[in-house]
Amino acid sequence: MITIAKQKELVAAAMNVRGEAWAPYSQFRVGAALLTADGEIITGVNMESSSYGLSVCAERNTIACAVAKGKREFTAMAVVSRGGVTPCGACRQVIYDLCGNIDIVLADETGAIKDTTTTQELLPFAFGDKDLG
């Protein structure tokens, strides 16, 4: 598990970007911050569409930003939302596929850490390369 200081730093980064979320329909703004293996913090937000199925969660947007920057190794992610909810199933799978078993810090809109977990704990029976053979 990453240090408490690093957890707080990730939460602060996710909180700072959360206000930029595009959530005109649900008003459910989410910010995420991803820690790369080389220590960079990359952030992202959720983005809703009037065609709800086309909306993209903060976690997946953040990972996409990291990949676009050439990052491929990750250590932890913080997710800040109203109530400190866990990532949805689609995000859990993408986190597993692209980040592996990383630490996940969940915080509410005040920045209070509600839980710390891992990808493996959130998605214990993940679909992966082993299932494609």
**pLDDT value, residue 129:** 86
Please report how many Cα atoms fall inside a 13 Å half-sphere around the Cα of residue 35, on the Cβ side.
24
Q: Is the dihedral of CA 97, 99, 102, 104 positive or negative?
A: negative
**pLDDT value, residue 133:** 80
**pLDDT value, residue 108:** 98
The Cα–Cα gap between 102 and 133 comes to 25
**pLDDT value, residue 125:** 93
CB 56 within 8 A of CB 29: no
10 burial level (CB within 10 Å; 0-12, 13-18, 19+): buried
The parts of the chain modelled with pLDDT lower than 50 are none
**pLDDT value, residue 11:** 98
**pLDDT value, residue 96:** 97
CB 79 within 8 A of CB 104: yes
Third-level CATH fold of 4-131: Cytidine Deaminase; domain 2 (3.40.140)
Q: Which residues, including other chains, have CB under 8 Å from residue 43's CB and lie 6 or more apart?
A: 13, 14, 16, 17, 31, 32, 33, 34, 62, 65
48 assigned to active site? no
**Structure token digits, residue 124:** 């214990």
Given the residues 20, 40, 48, 59, select the one marked as catalytic: 59
The structure's pTM equals 0.95
**pLDDT value, residue 71:** 98
